[in-house]
Amino acid sequence: MNTSGTTQNARVINAVKVNSISIWSPCTTSVLSASLEWISTYGPSKLISDTTVSATFPAVIHSKAPPQSLAGFWSTTGSNESDVMFAMTCPVGSVVDVNINFIVQDDLNTAGVTTTNNGSVGIVYYTYLDGPSGSADFQPIALPFLN
């Protein structure tokens, strides 16, 4: 939520858990590939990839967070939020759907988030999936967002 009409924001979400990720590459005459790697410190990582077979069939990945992967556990504000849960590679124009559960803050000690763009006071914004940063690529669709 934007707190000052500038780049200062406060988190509304206290914890998040990733349930699944789906990726669809664009249909094109070029051969395109997409990959998703679930990261784990408690077991082996899991890599999934797909490549287009024609201009009619895109590369498609549908995957649930594997047991013992970092995404399968709750990530809590201020505790383990810098942990990398997954890594994706996909062509420009791909659609990425990330299914999550989250818990809303229930106390007054909210963590601050600084974005590179100004917002409007009191508006709840989403940040890019890989942001906020000047080099973020995965913009939310149909939601108010700041990067």
CB atoms within 10 A of CB 87: 12
Q: Which tens digit of pLDDT belongs to each residue from 34-72?
A: 999 999 877 788 999 999 988 888 999 999 998 878 888
Residues comprising the chain, all counted: 147
pLDDT score at 87? 93
Predicted TM-score (pTM) of the model is 0.83
- Between CA 128 and CA 142 the distance in angstroms is 12
Residues 138/96, Cβ–Cβ less than 8 Å: yes
